[in-house]
Amino acid sequence: MAKVTIIGAGQTGATTAHWLAERQLADLVLIDIVEGMPQGKALDLTEAMPVIGSDVRVIGTNDYSDTAGSDIVIITAGLARKPGMSRDDLLAANSKIVGEAVEKSIKVSPDAIFIILTNPLDAMAYLAKKVSGLPRERVVGQAGILDSARMQAFVAMELGVSVDNVNCYVLGGHGDDMVPLTRHSNVAGIPLDVILPSDRLKAIVERTRKGGGEIVSLLKSGSAFYAPSAALMQMVEAILLDRHLIVPASAYLEGEYGQEGIYFGVPVQLGRGGLEKIIQYQLNDEENGELERSANHVREVIESLPL
C-alpha cells in the first residue's frame, strides 16, 4: 500500500484524508502541531472504515518520524483567509510553516512527491521547491483543478446540464486575476463563448475569479475545504495510479507560456513520477496578455518571500 502524509489536519487536510480513505488509495498519516487533534480525527476515520469497507490505515501524529517513507506529502498546514483578507496577506506566517514542514518531511521521506495547498499557493509551491531542492517534477501546487471545478459547477447550474458535460480550464496564478479560458472551455464540445450569451459568460468568469472569497464571506470563519480537498484527491490518484492525467495545476515554469522561474497555473500531465509534462495551449493575444498580468502578480509575491 502506498503511503500519503497530510501535513495540517485542519479543514482541508482532514477532508482530504476522508476522500482518500474512501478511495482506498493509500495508508494515510495526518500530522499537525496541535496535540491530540490529528490523533482524534485519524481514530474517528479509522472507525468509519468498517462502515465503508475500506482497509486503509489512518494514523494521526505530531511526530515527523511517523511520516517516514511517504510516497506523497501534501502540505495544507498554515493559516486560512478571514473575510476581507487576500491570499497574499498570509505570506509571512505561512512561509515559516511551509518551510519547516518541507524540511522536516523530506528528511524522512526523501523520495516523496510534494503537493502544496497552503496559500498564497504559487509562492508556497515555489518556497517548497527552493527549501527541498527537488526537481520540478516532484513539487506541484493545487489550485487549477479547484478553480476550474468552480467554473464547471457554475456553467452546469446555468445551463442545467450534467457536470460531466462541462470542461473548463482556468490557468494563471491562484488569485483574483486567474485566467478562465472561455474559448477552450466547452459544454459537450461547444465552446463556452458560443453556448452562453456574453453577459452570462462574463458573470460566470467573475464569479469563478472570486469563488474562494464568496465562500470565505459565507463561512465567516475558515475557507473552502470540500472542493479543494477533492482536487487534492484527484492529484494523488493521478500520481499513484500513474494515470497520465492532464489537469491544471501550479508548476515551476522554465520558459513555458513565456514565463521562467515562477510557479504558475498551467495544464500539466500527472503520473507516477509526478509532473510528467506541461501542455502548451495555442493562445491569442488577449489570453496571453491576461496570463502575463497574472504572472507579474505571482512574481511580485514570490519576490517578497523571506528567502
- Does 17 bind ligand TXD (CB under 6 A)? Our answer is no
Q: How far is the CB of 32 from ligand TXD (least distance, A)?
A: 4
Contacts with 2 (C-beta within 8 Å, 6 or more apart), sequence order: 25, 26, 27, 71, 72, 240
Number of residues that bind ligand TXD (CB under 6 A): 34
Single residue of 101, 149, 178, 236 touching ligand TXD by CB under 6 A: 101
Q: How far is the CB of 181 from ligand TXD (least distance, A)?
A: 18
- Does 180 bind ligand TXD (CB under 6 A)? Our answer is no
Return the number of the residue (159 or 219) whose C-beta is nearest ligand TXD: 219
Q: How far is the CB of 182 from ligand TXD (least distance, A)?
A: 21
C-alpha cell at 14: 482532514
Single residue of 6, 106, 117, 262 touching ligand TXD by CB under 6 A: 117
- Does 13 bind ligand TXD (CB under 6 A)? Our answer is yes
Stretch that binds ligand TXD, among 114-122, 154-162, 193-201, 277-285 (CB under 6 A): 114-122
Q: Give the integer Cα–Cα distance in Å for 220 and 211.
A: 14
Helices and strands (H and E) in the chain: how many: 10, 14
Single residue of 20, 25, 77, 178 touching ligand TXD by CB under 6 A: 77
Q: Give the integer Cα–Cα distance in Å for 260 and 282.
A: 18
Cβ-closest position to ligand TXD: 10
Q: How far is the CB of 302 from ligand TXD (least distance, A)?
A: 15
Return the number of the residue (178 or 195) whose C-beta is nearest ligand TXD: 178
Tell me the residue ranges of DSSP E strands in the chain: 2-7, 26-31, 58-61, 72-75, 113-116, 139-141, 166-167, 170-171, 179-180, 186-187, 190-191, 245-254, 260-271, 274-278
174 catalytic residue (yes or no) = yes
Sheet holding 274-278, edge to edge: 58-61, 26-31, 2-7, 72-75, 113-116, 139-141, 245-254, 260-271, 274-278
Cis peptide leading into 306, omega within 30 of 0? no
Residue 280: what residue type? Answer: Q
Rg of the chain over Cα atoms, rounded to whole angstroms, equals 19
Q: What would you measure as the largest C-alpha separation in the chain, in angstroms?
A: 55
Return the number of the residue (221 or 282) whose C-beta is nearest ligand TXD: 221
| Burial of residue 162, with CB atoms counted within 10 A of its CB: 0-12 exposed, 13-18 middle, 19 or more buried | exposed
252 to 291, contacts with ligand TXD by CB under 6 A? none
Single residue of 129, 174, 297, 299 touching ligand TXD by CB under 6 A: 174
Q: How far is the CB of 282 from ligand TXD (least distance, A)?
A: 27
- Does 223 bind ligand TXD (CB under 6 A)? Our answer is yes
Stretch that binds ligand TXD, among 44-52, 162-170, 219-227, 267-275 (CB under 6 A): 219-227
Decide: 238 and 265 in contact? Cβ < 8 Å. Answer: no
Decide: 151 and 170 in contact? Cβ < 8 Å. Answer: yes
Q: How far is the CB of 96 from ligand TXD (least distance, A)?
A: 8
Return the number of the residue (94 or 152) whose C-beta is nearest ligand TXD: 94
- Does 97 bind ligand TXD (CB under 6 A)? Our answer is yes
Residues tagged active-site: 174
Binding residues (CB under 6 A) for ligand TXD: these are: 7-13, 32-34, 76-81, 90, 94, 97, 100-101, 117-119, 121, 142-143, 146, 174, 222-225, 228
